[in-house]
Each structure stands twice: as structure tokens, then as C-alpha cells.
Structure 1
């Protein structure tokens, strides 16, 4: 089954180019292209895409603020920020807004496709040049999941406590393992204790 991708950019030429690029891979399907962000919430509700690939700066719209608003109303959304500027400030902004990844438009096509697939599988992917900065920056939701993991709760119990899906809990646990460089949930807790991440 193909990964359904929704493209959001205020430049039609960019949208068309991205669509052709992504659909060269049979595992990806572009379900729609949005050039007017004011319609985005309705399109998402209707199509329920697996991945939203959104430009960080659009005419009259800030992609970072839009990402925060969308995630506030629907925690299950998976958003990748796209930018023409490979800038640390934008990357940090994308991370803080809750995006799963930040991709510069000048990155090779295969890197973009690989990022989409990794994010779909539950990873939080950021460029290697900032790995050192991102490693110990846990999102507020990851911190909450971490606290519950430390009490020995199961994924289902954590999902009920935080009112998010079991799949989203699994995504957060995968992200925690990547950031803490460990292989399982027990090691997450042990490493978090060593690093003073548990309250």
C-alpha cells in the first residue's frame, strides 16, 4: 500500500515538480497539492494523508505556526517541513513546532524520499549536521511518554493516559531510542536516569 503524501507550497511549479519527483517511487502517492494554506485543514480532514510535506515560508503564512496549529487540533498528523534555506534557525523552529523532519529543497531526491519513508515508519529525522543539537532536545510529548515509561506502563496504558493512539506512542518511543542511542524501552529509562532526564 502506497504512502499517501499531501504537498503544501504556494508555488504551483514547486508542487508539480515535487509530485513528479515523489511519484517516481512506486511506494509514494501524492493525494493532493495545496497552494492555498487557508484550505489546508479541510483537505487534511477529507484525505487524511499519511505525510504532509509543507513549505516553511508561504505568502501570508508561516509554515511553523501552521504546523503548531494543525498539531494542536490533531496530534496524529505527521508533518515534514520543506525549505529553500538549509538554515539552523529554521531547522530548530521545525523541531520545536513538532514537525517530524526538516528537508532542504536542494537535497538530492533520494534523500527526500528516504526521509519520507523513515518518518512514515515512525522516526523523527533531522539532518546529520545538527544531530548533536537535536539529540537531547526532547519534545514535550516525548518527555511525557518518557515519564510514563519509567513507571513501567505499557504502550496501551500510555496511550490512554495521554489520550493519543498506540501508534503515536510507538512513534515517540522510536524517537526516544534514536535520540538516546539505545535499542529498547528498558534502555531508554536507564539512559534517561543516567542523563538526568527523568523528573
Structure 2
């Protein structure tokens, strides 16, 4: 069972999100908070797996709330859920450790899928936003800048197609749909690409692609 806390200052939004995600028998909402501080308190009491966190909240907003929670409970996943499609908010939330970012007009099905994907270790950020975040932080992050290009010649055409879709923010399911592949095949190919390039995760892969003009 995936244990979720919802942090949003709107009663209607909290209730609506709870109703949506509890349609899935594998997800349980174990707490509701009106700001980041309350979400932190609930983490201490209830040990959630994931928090759906609004950005615009009084007292302690989602950006600061994410930092507080990640500093103390690094294993807890945080997905920012907001109406604000704004790079500055997104950058701050991601820098503070947010694992994903979705807009409130996301479909019920996609929200549930996002929660499960995040629990399984996949970051979910809209493609343009993910690309912009990587580009903006390339010059300021030594660990990102250390990613070189010693293995580019080993990539196949299909692997490069997958990399481009990862940079666009696509998850495995979306990549499979775009390339007419089975999702399991895409998952295996992503693992192969990471191993071939000696990279740790999809973020490093996106950095590699942008630095080396694959994306």
C-alpha cells in the first residue's frame, strides 16, 4: 500500500485529490495538511511514502515545505501539484528535492500513474520544464558538468530516439507509445543506455544528451 499525505490550503482541492487517488486500491491517504509545516508534522507521525504538495500555501509554501521534508526524510517522495506553470517555482521545488511536478488539470488516471511511477523511482516533470531545468543548472552544478561524452559512438539510432524522448520528459509508457514498443522493452532499453553510458539516472542522461547535442 502506498501511503500518501496531501498538502493544500484548499479544502475542496484536498478532498478532490483524496477522492481521486483513493479510487486505486493500492493507494491510501493517511493525512491532510494545509501547509508545509503541517505536512512535516504528519511525516513525523505517519511515515508516508509520498506527499502531494501544493506550491502556493500560507505559513509554509510547497517549496520550503519540500526542503524541510527532504532534509529530514529524504526517502519520502514529493510531487508538486499546482496551477502555476512557472519555471521559477519549478526550479526552486526541484532544487529542494521535489521528485516530480504536475499541474492540477492532470487527468485522474495520469495522477495515479504519476504517484506509482514516482514511488518506483521515476521523476515526473513536464517535458519543456524538465529540459529548461537541466539547461539552467548545467553551468551551476559541478556534478552535472562532470558528465562527459566518452561512449557516444556506442548508441544505436533507436537508443538516441529514446534519449530524445526522455529529455522531452516522457515516461516509459509515453516512450513506448511514441515508438510503438512494449513498455517493458523501453524499460530494458533505458537500463541498457544508462549502463552503456555509465550514468546513474534519467536526469544525468538528459544532461548528457543536451551537452552532446543528442536532444
CA distance, structure 1, for counterparts of residue 35 and residue 133 of structure 2: 31
Pair member with larger Rg = 2
The offset of 1:120, in angstroms, is: 0.4
Q: 1:54 to 1:131 in 2, by over 3 A?
A: closer
CA distance, structure 2, for counterparts of residue 141 and residue 48 of structure 1: 31
CA distance, structure 1, for counterparts of residue 95 and residue 15 of structure 2: 29
Describe the SS at the equivalent of 1:16.
helix
The gaps in structure 2 that reach 5 residues or longer are: 148-165, 168-189, 200-204
| In the alignment, structure 1 residue 77 sits paired with structure 2 residue 76 | yes
The offset of 1:63, in angstroms, is: 1.0
Offset from partner CA, 1:7-33 (integer Å, 9 cap, x none): 111111111111101111112111111
Residues 1-199 of structure 1: matches in 2 within 5 Å? Answer: 2-135=1-134, 137=137, 143=143, 183-189=193-199
TM-score for the superposition, normalised by structure 2? 0.64
Describe the SS at the equivalent of 1:5.
strand
CA distance, structure 1, for counterparts of residue 55 and residue 142 of structure 2: 23
The offset of 1:45, in angstroms, is: 1.4
Offset from partner CA, 1:105-150 (integer Å, 9 cap, x none): 1121212111111100011111123343245658x99949x89xxx
Q: 1:141 to 1:135 in 2, by over 3 A?
A: closer
CA distance, structure 2, for counterparts of residue 142 and residue 100 of structure 1: 20
- Counterpart of 1:163 in structure 2 is none
Q: What is the root-mean-square deviation of aligned Cα atoms in Å?
A: 3.3
The gaps in structure 1 that reach 5 residues or longer are: 148-177
- Counterpart of 1:166 in structure 2 is none
CA distance, structure 1, for counterparts of residue 27 and residue 34 of structure 2: 20
CA distance, structure 2, for counterparts of residue 92 and residue 183 of structure 1: 27
Describe the SS at the equivalent of 1:86.
coil
Describe the SS at the equivalent of 1:82.
strand
Q: 1:127 to 1:47 in 2, by over 3 A?
A: same
Describe the SS at the equivalent of 2:198.
helix
CA distance, structure 2, for counterparts of residue 93 and residue 126 of structure 1: 13
Describe the SS at the equivalent of 2:193.
coil
